[in-house]
Structure 1
Amino acid sequence: MTSESREELIRTSDAPERATLLELLFDLAYVAALAVTSVQLSVDATPTGAVQLLLLLMAIWWTWTITAQLTDFYHPERRPVQVMITGTMFGTILLAGTIPFAFGSLGWLFASAYVALHVTRGVILLSVLRARHVRARAARFLFWFVVSAIFWMLGAFATDWARFAWWLAAITIDYVASGLRYPTPWLGRVPRKQYEQASAGHLGERYQQFTILALGDLLLMPTLRIGTTEFTPERFVAFLITFVTTLLLWQIYVFRAGAFLQVAIVQRPGRISRAAPYTHFLIVAGIVSSAAGFDLVIGQPTGDTPTSWVAIIVGGPILFLLGRTVFEYVVFRVVAWSRLAWMAVLIAIAPAVTFLPPVFTIATTALVLCGIAISDAIRSHRGSRTLPDVTSLRS
């Protein structure tokens, strides 16, 4: 590969702002991974199962967000970048397939796939890049993924909670190192200006697209369940409620989403690129939990609601709202107090809904989400008092 072609890997002004078709196909692999995670949560709706799945979801999400950063910094239509995207897509399917057995017989495969994805990406980048500053960036990422790989592989050959402890240390390293801008011996941290140079229009759109696709999990899970169980009026009502809840979560997410993107493009792309992975993880985790709750309720819409089911059904929207609220604060430095109040309502009613049938539990949750959507609409009407003007953020 010539020096000129190597330099072309860096995103240039002619790079597409919109996601490429390969990136959209890549996202579909993650829709499958989220569906598998939701199914597993509904099968193992226990505190232990939920905590283990949360850790696995963190690994799967981190693979997506690092790849999104890859296509944001490097040209997504250059051949080496496309090879890395397709390789990551295959690895993601492999990760998803091992989720039910990751804390059992296939822990070695889950850890090996995760490590191989990130280490191989770093090796490829170092082999094709020439400019010193971009090689240093790739080296920083690779260094920390090699460090975390040690813990991933130690956990792969441990058992039970020892495996969880090793993997928790590994994923913590991945998340914290990114938050600290990958401080690396002799190289220092990733310069802030590299985050500011990010194509925020592309990156912001990638997070929005992924979230909308993830919301499809809320339609997929109940549709599959109602299509494979005996039809009853109670199940049909539960199905309708899940559909309405999906629309409400969509409405809550897209509330002023265009303004978010405008701020990201015009003013502070670095803030978006560094905060979005963490805030959107909460959103995605909330979607996975909600989808698992829908699956459980349609399977058994009547009778008492177990405490573990309540945690999944109510916890999903809470995580979603928390991520959405923190993201809005990061961008605008505005606290959505009405949304926080509704979240408090959800937490307060959680103990009471254990005495209701599951179908009434999701109905209650949907009513709270409806209240949030109405509150957001009221805030939008008072936009001049709740949302800073974009030009005021020039600093």
Structure 2
Amino acid sequence: MDERGSALLRGGVSATRATFLELFFDLAFVFALTRISQRLIDDVSTHGRDPFRESAQTVLLFLALWMVWTVAAWVTSRYEPEQAAIQFVVVASMFGSLVMAVAAPRAFSGRALTFALAYVVIQVGRPLFLTLALRGHPRRSVTARIMVWAGFGAVPWLVGALVPTAQEVLWTLALAWDYVGLALGWPLPGRGAARASGWAVAGEHLAERYQQFFLISLGETILIIGLTFSGAAYSADRALAFTLSFLTTVLLWRIYFHRAGHVLADAIREARRPGVLGESASWTHLLIVVGVLLTGVGYELVIVHPYGGAAPGWPVFVTGGPALFLAARARFEYEIFGRVSRTRVVGVVVLLALAPLGRLLSPVTVLGLSALVLAGIAAGDAWRARGRPAEEPASPL
């Protein structure tokens, strides 16, 4: 076995915390999320276009960026991030992600090829480089199969960028191909699959990376709140919407980290197969982040139009975003403790029931009611935990 290839793997002396380089890598996604959110706001606020079609395009772009980030998180949890070769992979992925973010606002018009090329270079180049760097190590069979899958997926990405009339269909198929590969372990004929759930990973590191991306998404909503309020004409109504938006973000943070968020690292570390819980948590955090992003879009719509005039679909963001967050947070709770709090289920139902009231109530009123629901859940969490020993993880996975 090649010793230089073995040196790339995480060992027992590897740091469990995320490195400064990984935090630096995340800065590209701070910018990327602002581009995605702004594009989504434009999709629902601009009249004369098809907002549903434009929103679907934006979701596709976000999922492509998430694919790049989540695979990078698995790479640095599986390989030694202090090795120069792995650092090169992280920096190169960061640059490609930044290019994708820059191209995202016009990815379905003048910058389609730029977005597709950046994505393909990351998805194909990353496993190709790792396969070469691992040399004779058995683990190179995993990176090689990922490279093969990414190579096939690159075709519809590039063709779609060059053929505008087929771009949406081809990019949807290409993204579905990539996500199927990730979910099934990139199976190849005669060689089976290599699902991430069976990988040896640094569990604490992987948990911290998911939590950091969640905090990035919260930070993006803070940017929306501040930039929107500072750019709009001041009024008491907008000040109220600004305050409620900040309060909602604080409640999202509080609900996420109440116990389950604090013990994710412990749960993965103690699991007999850390990869199983890590893989499940990756999908859960995707939904959590989407819920936060949708909620952030709702902030801008409400701050600009607190008492009317917002885009027709604004309740989808003001109540639907928190509802999706709570539903995903309930799944997260099950992953850690094997149970789901009834308050989260009730909260989802109440938030969804508030959406039809958008025709009767003002946006700022609905935002206030959404914040009230979240506050009730946070208060219920605090009440149940009062005077009781901290619950230990008992993951059914």
- With structure 2 as the length reference, what TM-score do the two structures score? 0.92
Matched, 1:297 2:289: no
Farther off after superposition, 172-181 or 341-350: 172-181
Contact 2:182-2:195 within 8 A present in 1 as well: no
The equivalent of 2:80 in structure 1 is 75
The equivalent of 2:245 in structure 1 is 242
The equivalent of 1:366 in structure 2 is 371
Distance 1:304 1:43 in 2: 15
The equivalent of 2:15 in structure 1 is 16
Contact 1:41-1:50 within 8 A present in 2 as well: yes
Distance 1:193 1:206 in 2: 17
Farther off after superposition, 327-336 or 169-178: 327-336
Deviations 1:51-76 (A, max 9, x none): 11111111101100000000011100
Contact 1:112-1:153 within 8 A present in 2 as well: yes
Match of 1:264 among 263, 268, 273: 268
Contact 1:7-1:130 within 8 A present in 2 as well: no
Map residues 1-395 of structure 1 onto 2, 5 A cutoff: 3-45=2-44, 46-159=51-164, 162-190=166-194, 194-195=198-199, 197-256=200-259, 257-267=261-271, 268-381=273-386, 389-390=392-393
The equivalent of 2:48 in structure 1 is none
Distance 1:81 1:350 in 2: 46
Amino acid at match of 2:221: L
Distance 1:315 1:94 in 2: 30
Amino acid at match of 2:206: L
Cα 1:202–1:343 shift into 2, 3 Å:
same
Amino acid at match of 2:194: V
Distance 1:369 1:15 in 2: 39
Deviations 1:60-119 (A, max 9, x none): 011000000000111001111111111111111111111111111211211111111110
Distance 1:381 1:144 in 2: 50
Distance 1:368 1:148 in 2: 43
Distance 1:286 1:188 in 2: 35
Deviations 1:305-355 (A, max 9, x none): 543111122221122122222222233321233201110111111011232
Contact 2:330-2:341 within 8 A present in 1 as well: yes
Contact 2:196-2:276 within 8 A present in 1 as well: no
Distance 2:63 2:388 in 1: 35
Farther off after superposition, 321-330 or 284-293: 321-330
The equivalent of 2:47 in structure 1 is none
Contact 1:304-1:357 within 8 A present in 2 as well: no
Contact 2:197-2:276 within 8 A present in 1 as well: no
Give the share of equivalent positions with the same residue, in percent.
36
Distance 2:300 2:361 in 1: 17
Farther off after superposition, 178-187 or 243-252: 178-187
Contact 2:291-2:323 within 8 A present in 1 as well: yes
Contact 1:276-1:327 within 8 A present in 2 as well: yes
Contact 2:197-2:278 within 8 A present in 1 as well: no
Contact 1:215-1:287 within 8 A present in 2 as well: yes
Distance 1:159 1:282 in 2: 29
Cα 1:110–1:192 shift into 2, 3 Å:
closer
Distance 1:375 1:394 in 2: 24
Contact 1:306-1:354 within 8 A present in 2 as well: no
Q: Gapped runs of 5+ residues in structure 2?
A: 45-50
Cα 1:158–1:393 shift into 2, 3 Å:
same
Amino acid at match of 1:254: F
Distance 1:79 1:192 in 2: 24
Give the SS at the match of 1:255.
helix
Cα 1:238–1:193 shift into 2, 3 Å:
closer
Amino acid at match of 1:366: A
Give the SS at the match of 1:231.
coil
- Note the C-alpha offset of 1:10: 0.7
Amino acid at match of 1:116: V
Distance 2:382 2:157 in 1: 45
Distance 1:193 1:274 in 2: 6
- Note the C-alpha offset of 1:381: 4.5
Cα 1:328–1:382 shift into 2, 3 Å:
farther
- With structure 1 as the length reference, what TM-score do the two structures score? 0.92
Contact 1:304-1:356 within 8 A present in 2 as well: no
Deviations 1:118-167 (A, max 9, x none): 1011111111112442110111211211122122123212335x322211
- Note the C-alpha offset of 1:304: 4.8
Contact 1:35-1:217 within 8 A present in 2 as well: yes
Distance 2:137 2:4 in 1: 15
Farther off after superposition, 350-359 or 232-241: 350-359
Q: How many residues align?
A: 389
Farther off after superposition, 370-379 or 244-253: 370-379
